[in-house]
Structure 1
Amino acid sequence: MNQDMNGWIPYRMRFLEGEWLVNWLDLDNHHINEPFFDETIDRCRIKMSGRSRFKTASNLQFLLAAAPLNSIPPTAFIFHVSRCGSTLLSQALASEKQNIVIAEAPILDEILRAQEHDKFIGEAEVKEIFMSAVAFMGQIRNPFYKHYFIKLDSWHLHFYHQLRSWYPDTPFYFLSREPEAIISSHQKRRGLQSIPGMIDPRVFKINLSDAHFADFNSYTAEVLAGYYNLLSTYIDLQERKNHFYDYAWGVEGLLQHFHHTVGIAFEKSDPMNNRLAFHSKYPDQPFTGDQATNQKTFYPVAQEAYQQFYNKLKQHG
């Protein structure tokens, strides 16, 4: 890799006229601490001076041929069912200057779902592209970086077997929460996975119907039921590198549990402790708890799937 590319990372991948194009971002020495990677992109392209003010693109071959000068392998991947503390966890981790935290980077989703656009791209190539992008994002751009955490999108629970085959020795951390609270949260501010058709329904193995568009919450409930069913099967695998935490166990114990299970010494610092007191997605707003909605949030399909999963989780320990 050319020295001039040091600090650059791929941040988007688009399929245009039969060819994949990769957009690049110059992070320079910016410590990533935004709640979502989209915000990091905006900050670096708009607010920072330097090369990222300009749109920079390459073909896919350039990404695969290049290699970062010095990169940390992922310390852990964070999976979640959405609205369950995953953003708060990633934000607390990002408050420590020794941690690289990538939260829901669009390019990782675009790579995992590349076959939706390009029927000729094979799994071996998808793996190579994904691992190359991950390596670029894990560059040691600051000398104090020691750990590297990647928070995936919630629907990437459906890509577990693929990712586990690529990273057999990396800890996977799964966060969950009971469905009524999640549905209520999406009612106020919807994520893509809670809007019918925004994510290819084949990812969720759902057949869209008029009923889903008439009641977005019913669709969200089916998505969540699929998540809980997957989590149940992942517990059954008894994979020693898989670790689970449910929101019902309390946010105050999350950081210690995470560090202990992924094998990192835990010393709760003031930045971490202070970050837990603020809203996960709005770092300048104190967290005052979730507010209930007046609309229906109880759906048996989600509640029953969650209860089956949670019973397994309690036995799993």
Structure 2
Amino acid sequence: METIFELLYDNDLLRRELLDNFIPEAFDRKTAALLKQSGRSISAPRIKELRFRSGDRLRQHLPGDMKGWFPKKISWQQHRPMLEWIYFGRSDFSAPFYDQMLLRHGQNPINQLLGFTSPLDLVPKPEGPAPVPLSGLIFHISRCGSTLVSQMLSAVNGHRVISEPGPVDAVLRGRFRDPSVGDDLRAQWLKRLVNIFGQRLTPRDRRLFIKLDAWHMMALPLIHRTFPGVPILFLYRHPLEVLVSHERKPGRHTVPGEIPVEWFGGTKMQLKDMGLDTYPVWVLESMLNTACDHAESIRFSSMDYAQLPESLWAIDNNPFGLNFSDGEIQSMKAASGYYSKDPGRRFRNDTREKQKSAGVKLRGLVKKMMLPTWEKWLESHGNRIRQP
């Protein structure tokens, strides 16, 4: 049986025949037929069993022609980032989050049968046409409409939006895996990932946008230096409304221990002194303070939740400096009518509801811990769309 897998891993031409067979039964029959032509006798039902077998599928091997292969996750082996691959094919990237894309395509038969991993620092540039240009980076304070923005952008034909990809987070926080990982190395790895995300799959591909995780605001200077000249949009919202949302369903960065406290400029001693109700407020203040500190030197655009969705497609002053056509604006308007995290629900602005439901304790914490930073932000940078 190992001989069969060696053949599938080593024979790029044979494997290429299997890639776009997304119907499991057809994939199993095709695989069995191709193996038979190569002198290996195996039945389609046995191929099905192998797709669901337990055990390690990964081989340290590039997937040959890399077109349609995307980053799945990054693991670390002896202080070296190893990139695991997944085959998307010519996917439309319509899911609200990259993790949902991984779940969807994890069901593709080729991804069930085979697994590839390779050192990130040895990944070559994708072959073929030049990658789709990176047209915008989306930062946000969380629960402030960033997913709505990414869904509106992805509704435009030729746009590809990569939303909160785990491999980017793994690279940005790589120094917590290996303290010797410096900014230059992280920048190099980020460029490799963006080249892969931007591989041109169809002639229609024109623009690439990446929406980062909320806590990546702390890495704004590094990301800006890595991609100078790429327009940056920072989305924000009244902190009380953001924190009400996190009270109901905590985000990863608001749970102590999920993201190292040092990432936000704190210490473990500070963490010990903070309660569960205080920590999310402190994290939000750290992110907003970073935005204040760099808004002039980096000159990114900013947008309040209350300005959505119309400000995204503003003809004279949209945050990415793009001249959207009437058709593109109509596509974004259509997408803006739905709740971004659940396309089956209609979107509505819930500012009043969030403000009304905030408890006395939370209001007190926000006033004590965030009010000065919030007022500083509004006075100097809030509610302004500015071209980089």
Q: TM-score, normalised by structure 1?
A: 0.89
How many residues align structurally? 311
1:1-317 alignment runs, 5 A limit: 4-46=65-107, 48-51=108-111, 54-63=114-123, 65-70=124-129, 71-207=131-267, 208-210=270-272, 212=274, 214-216=275-277, 218-237=278-297, 239-240=298-299, 242-256=300-314, 260-266=318-324, 267=326, 268-290=328-350, 291-292=353-354, 293=357, 295=359, 296-298=361-363, 299-300=366-367, 301-314=369-382
Runs of 4+ in 1 over 4 A off after TM superposition: 314-317
Change over 3 Å in CA distance of 1:127–1:315 after alignment to 2: closer
Q: Report the alpha carbon displacement of residue 228 of structure 1 after superposing the two structures with TM.
A: 1.8
> 1:142-180 deviations in whole A, cap 9, x for unaligned?
210111101111111111111111111111111111100
**What amino acid does structure 1 have at the position aligned with 2:198?**
G
Contact 2:312-2:319 within 8 A present in 1 as well? no
Tell me the distance in 1 between the aligned counterparts of 2:197 and 2:317.
21
The gaps in structure 1 that reach 5 residues or longer are none
Larger deviation, residues 50-59 vs 269-278 = 50-59
Specify the structure having the higher radius of gyration (Cα): 2
* Higher RCO, 1 vs 2 (CA within 8 Å, ≥6 residues apart): 1
Larger deviation, residues 156-165 vs 284-293 = 284-293
Report the 3-state secondary structure (helix = DSSP H, G, I; strand = E; otherwise coil) of the residue aligned with 2:322: coil
Contact 1:72-1:138 within 8 A present in 2 as well? yes
Contact 1:109-1:153 within 8 A present in 2 as well? yes
Report the 3-state secondary structure (helix = DSSP H, G, I; strand = E; otherwise coil) of the residue aligned with 2:90: coil
Q: Report the alpha carbon displacement of residue 274 of structure 1 after superposing the two structures with TM.
A: 2.1
**What amino acid does structure 2 have at the position aligned with 1:243?**
S
**What amino acid does structure 1 have at the position aligned with 2:97?**
F
Tell me the distance in 2 between the aligned counterparts of 1:281 and 1:87.
7
Q: TM-score, normalised by structure 2?
A: 0.74
Report the 3-state secondary structure (helix = DSSP H, G, I; strand = E; otherwise coil) of the residue aligned with 1:262: coil
Change over 3 Å in CA distance of 1:68–1:172 after alignment to 2: farther
Change over 3 Å in CA distance of 1:259–1:106 after alignment to 2: farther
Q: Report the alpha carbon displacement of residue 287 of structure 1 after superposing the two structures with TM.
A: 2.3
Tell me the distance in 1 between the aligned counterparts of 2:249 and 2:164.
17
Identity, % of aligned pairs?
25
